[in-house]
Amino acid sequence: MTTFERSDRNRVRRVPERGIYDSSSIYQIVDDALVCHVGFVVDGRPFVIPTLHARVDDEILLHGATTSRLIRHVQAGHEVCITFTHVDGIVLARSVFHHSINYRSAVLFGRGRLVEGDEATMEALRTFTERLLPGRWDDARSPNVKELKATSVVAVTIDTASAKVRNGPPGDEEEDYDLPYWAGVLPLRMAVSEPVADGRLPESVPVPGYIREYVKERE
């Protein structure tokens, strides 16, 4: 386990006791997220792009069209900030001021490189696909030459990072605890429903076992 050194770049300033700096906790937040947001600056203008990601050790993989502004920025070695957020509940306090949410968030900083070569790119795309739904890569057509040429994968090496987590009940002012208002937490979670077949899928093609297993594990 690595502990990221606290610095002006990654230090949690607001409610610092919620800050987390060990890589195992941070990477768990990263791995549990389906989508990340990548922040970067081009010609003095800020951009934040939502995208899929995958993590391999201390690198974050991103992919997109070879013409993508984000991909070009990363492969040139420029710095990016990548964020991940999970909302676990709405915190309802007795006062409006103390309403909040329970959450897990992580902020990563790093610079990237282009994943070069067809073999390495194909392996990275396999990693993306298996991370999205384990078992899918071997149950779908692989990218062809044209598709592979139109796609770039970049790897961002994580230089530093931090996480911030809130959980538990509301924190009201002591004098408010006798107020006659309901207080507590409304838990939230992402739900997985039954798979819906494409309208052009023949009825003879069954739902794969790995999809059924994915749904069952998240019921």
Supply the CATH number for residue 84's domain.
2.30.110.10
pTM for this prediction: 0.94
**Mean pLDDT in the chain?**
97
In a domain, 115, yes or no: yes
In a domain, 208, yes or no: no
Q: Which residues span the domain enclosing 128?
A: 16-190
Structure tokens at 69: 């502004």
Q: Residue 60's pLDDT is what? A: 98
Please check the confidence at residue 1 and state whether its pLDDT lies above 80: no
Q: Residue 58's pLDDT is what? A: 97
Per-residue HEC secondary structure of 22-64 comes to EHHHHHHHHHHCCEEEEEEEECCEEEEEEEECEEECCEEEEEE
In a domain, 59, yes or no: yes
Q: Residue 46's pLDDT is what? A: 98
Which pLDDT band holds residue 110 (cuts at 50, 70, 90)?
very high
Q: Residue 6's pLDDT is what? A: 96
In a domain, 149, yes or no: yes
Q: How many domains does the chain have?
A: 1
Which run of H or E residues covers position 113? strand 100-114
Please check the confidence at residue 89 and state whether its pLDDT lies above 90: yes
Q: Residue 218's pLDDT is what? A: 86
Mean pLDDT of the 11-35 span: 97
Which pLDDT band holds residue 136 (cuts at 50, 70, 90)?
very high
In a domain, 198, yes or no: no
Q: What is the DSSP string of 155-193?
A: EEEEEEEEEEEE-SS----GGGTTSSS--EEEE------
Q: Residue 145's pLDDT is what? A: 95
In a domain, 202, yes or no: no
* Other C-beta atoms lying within 10 Å of the C-beta of residue 143: 17
Mean pLDDT of the 167-181 span: 97
Query: Which residues pair with residue 84 across a beta bridge?
Result: 106
Percent of the chain with pLDDT strictly greater than 90: 97
Q: Residue 219's pLDDT is what? A: 81
In a domain, 206, yes or no: no
Q: Residue 44's pLDDT is what? A: 96
Mean pLDDT of the 125-152 span: 97
In a domain, 209, yes or no: no
